[in-house]
Chain A
Amino acid sequence: MSAGDLSAAAAGLVSCETCSLLTQPVHPNHPGHCPRCGAELESRRPRSIQTTWALVIAAAICYIPANLLPVMNTTTLGSTEPDTIIGGVVFLYTSGSWPLALIVLIASVMVPIGKLIALAYLLVTVQRGVKGGERERTRLYRMVEIIGRWSMLDVFVDTFTVALVQLSPLMSVEPGMGVLFFAAVVVLTMIAVETFDPRLIWDAAARQQDPRQETKP
């Protein structure tokens, strides 16, 4: 391996995830604590792949009721009408604000599903030890990290609609079960992004260059 491509793990060093201090661990399997900030040292996030898979699968399961169940129930003069996420997009589109309809469609439908596919793709390629495209996959990971929070949009829309439209007996809006599952999808995928360790993407390439070196995920 060229000296220019040496990873900290290959050099027997550990970088603190909290304060980024580079240290020589006491023991490779039990690196101990960071001398500067006291955080527990870890060469790679522990059980990263298993934990991330568990969260991705849980989020994928929640994604189904999140889209099928109503996020809001609007009661107008005694008659109640359920409103799903897609229903909300259609409502915005037909009421003439297609830019907002597009924003909600991207944030509530496309971002969550895109996030799940992206995380699953990253997990599968890491598990198979795929080489190549490391930079692109790291970029994908960062994109998921930055965009992910925007899917919380619909939860806020529902909260403030419910909070404002309390004009009984004329009209009132109550939250539906869908919003709970939707919030669960966002929270679970956000935690999944934090448990996934992007350094695993680069470990496969390092193993190829030096077959003796094994970096444990």
Chain B
Amino acid sequence: MNRPDEFTSVESVACPDCDLLQQIPPLAPGDRARCPRCRHVLASAPRDPLDLPLALTLAAAIFLIIAQTIPLMNLSVLGLTASTTIIGGVLEMWQTGEPVTAMVVAFCAVIAPTLYTLFMLVVLLAARRPPAPHWVGELLRWAQSVQPWSMNEVMMLGILVALIKIASLATVDPGIGMVAVGALVVLYPAIMVSFDPRVIWQRVEWVDGDLPPDARGLARMERPS
């Protein structure tokens, strides 16, 4: 069994993409370790493993609220006006007879980004004081499984295409909500680049009741007796 003694120690792993057994050497901040056989990125050593992703996630949470509540675009033609939010689009899809598609859109545009942001916030806050309780790992797992379904960048492009399509028929103005969606398109990849889940796993209490070896060291450092 492999238990890293500290964050910078050598860690034995199997590559998740090709199962090659190997050791991740101690990484300098900013370094990344790739599998020599299939080039999968096995680990990275972010310069600021907890604070930077937390700051980015907080910013994402704020922009997410704006993106979800303020209209994305306004349309006017011959005195008639209309505007829509993300949830408005989902509701319209539901009411015009496509409830299943509406649910898919709701999941990819509202539910998945919200859950991902929420779980990451809790994980990053709880991991600040090791040892983090076991449920933090559970939340991290959920965050990672909803992450592929959070599609802000695809939605952004979808809105732009819709805008251009409609622009030939009516006057369309992008709203504040659109700016917030644009911010999310930048923030979510930034969270993922600045964050390595290994940092959390080395701070989480093991299911079998053991404290993570790393956390014991950290706890000693933070609370000198």
Residues of A within 8 A of B (CB): 5-9, 11, 13, 15, 17-24, 33-39, 88, 91-92, 95, 97, 100, 103-104, 134-135, 138-139, 141-142, 149-150, 152-167, 170-171, 174-175, 179-180, 183, 187, 190, 194, 198-199, 201-203
Contact = CB atoms under 8 A, between A and B. Distances in A.
Nearest to A43: B19
A80 to B, nearest CB: 13
Interface stretch (B45-53, B71-79, B217-225): B71-79
B191 interface: no
A160 B207 contact: no
B164 A97 contact: yes
Contacts of A36: 137, 201, 204, 206-207, 212
Contacts of A97: 164
* Consensus secondary structure, chain A interface: helix
B38 A155 contact: no
Given A158-B162, A180-B101, 17 more contacts: A9-B19, A20-B13, A20-B16, A20-B198, A103-B161, A138-B38, A159-B102, A159-B158, A160-B73, A162-B89, A162-B96, A166-B92, A167-B75, A167-B77, A175-B96, A187-B104, A202-B20
Given A175-B93, A201-B18, A161 B151 contact: no
Most interface-central of A17, A134, A149, A165 (chain B CB within 10 A): A165
7 contacts: A8-B21, A18-B137, A36-B137, A36-B201, A164-B162, A165-B166, A167-B80
B206 A35 contact: yes
